[in-house]
Structure formats: structure tokens, C-alpha cells
Amino acid sequence: MTAVSRLLIYVLAGFVLVLLQMHAGYLFGQTGIRPDFILSFVVMLGISAPLCRGAAICWGCGLALESVSCMQGGVLQIFFLGVFFLIRLTKKFLQFTTTVHVMVIVWCTQLLKYGYLLFLFSYVYNYEFVFREMTRIWIFETILTVGCSPVIFAFLRRLTGDRKDPLFDQRLMHHGRCTQ
């Protein structure tokens, strides 16, 4: 698969995930609790995409999500770029070899996201009521996001045609031998 076709697949997948995330037909969609598909997508881009292309796609996903969700300009763009670069920086020190590792990273980025949004809404925009409501939303959204992230990773790996899959290449030790 060429680099241009892989870029096109990433861009289209990001666009579809933005539309899917903002669709109102979810089970919990009316209460604001939805899995954050874009955050899982950004984590996957941080693990597998080239630096400049991945950063541009993360910025574009933040821009698209802000434009359809009526958020302040730049809030999600800065956050998604920050998560992308944080994953790229820690790629040398952390292992992204199993699904459990990636799910823990998605959980940590979800925690960072709500800490960032809580700081912005509480101190920058002076919303008083936001802590209780955001805590309730954060718990359920984190469970949904972490639960959906392996499906997103597997789907995007299959779309991009990566045969060597470090996320799902789990080795089992059986009587001293390594089997796959």
C-alpha cells in the first residue's frame, strides 16, 4: 500500500469517526455520554502514523470535531496534537505491543482530556457547576472509550493493510517455548 493511499484511508477514517462520534442515535447520546472514537484514533495515529501526516490528521480531526460540536476554537486541536506528540515522545520508553497496554494508554489520555477540559471550564471560563457533571460523564465515557478502542484499532489496522500488527501480536509462553 502506498503512502498516499494510506494517508487517504486515515483521513477518511477520521472523517467517518467524527461523524460517528457526533451522531445522536447512540444509546446514551442524549446525556452527552459517548465513546470518544477520535481519542482512540489519535492514540492509534501516535503509535503507527508518520510524524507530519499524523500531526496534520490529528489537527484536522480536532478542527472537524470542534466545528460540528460547537466548541471553542482550538481546544480539541491543541489537546489532540498534544496527545499525538506525547505518544510519539513516549514511544521509545513505553511498550505498545499488547492490547492491554494500548487500552491503558487510552484510559490515561481520557484522564488527561477531562483534566484539561475541567481546568478550562472551571478556571478559564468560570463555569461553577461543571465538576460534578463532568465527573459523571467522565466515568461512563471512559468505560465506553476503552471498551471500543480495540475494535477501532483492529479495524484501522485491517484498512491500512498492516500485516505486522504490534498491538495484537501477543506471544504466549507454553512450557518454555514462545508460541504465537
pLDDT, tens digit (0-9, with 9 covering 90-100), for 5-50 = 888 888 898 888 888 887 755 655 566 678 888 999 999 999 888 8
pLDDT exceeds 80 at position 97: no
pLDDT exceeds 50 at position 165: no
Helix (H, G, I), strand (E, B) or coil at 77: helix
* pLDDT value, residue 155: 83
Task: Find out whether 37 and 15 touch, Cβ atoms under 8 Å.
Answer: no
Highest mean pLDDT among 97-106, 108-117, 121-130: 108-117
All three cell numbers of 69: 460540536
User: Which residues lie below 8 Å from residue 160, measured CB to CB, with a gap of 6+?
Assistant: 1, 6, 9, 10, 48
Query: Where would I find the H helices in the chain?
Result: 3-22, 37-48, 51-69, 75-90, 99-119, 130-160
Q: Distance from CA of residue 164 to its chain's centroid?
A: 21
pLDDT exceeds 60 at position 164: no
pLDDT exceeds 50 at position 173: no
pLDDT exceeds 80 at position 136: no
Query: pLDDT tier at 59 (50, 70, 90 boundaries)?
Result: very high
The residues with which 172 forms a beta bridge, in sequence order, are 179
All three cell numbers of 68: 460540528
Q: What is the value of pTM for the model shown?
A: 0.81
* pLDDT value, residue 168: 46
The mean predicted confidence, pLDDT, of the chain is 80
What number is the average pLDDT over the span 153-180?
58
Strands 177-179 and 172-174: antiparallel
* pLDDT value, residue 75: 87
pLDDT exceeds 90 at position 56: yes
What number is the average pLDDT over the span 132-152?
84
pLDDT exceeds 90 at position 122: no
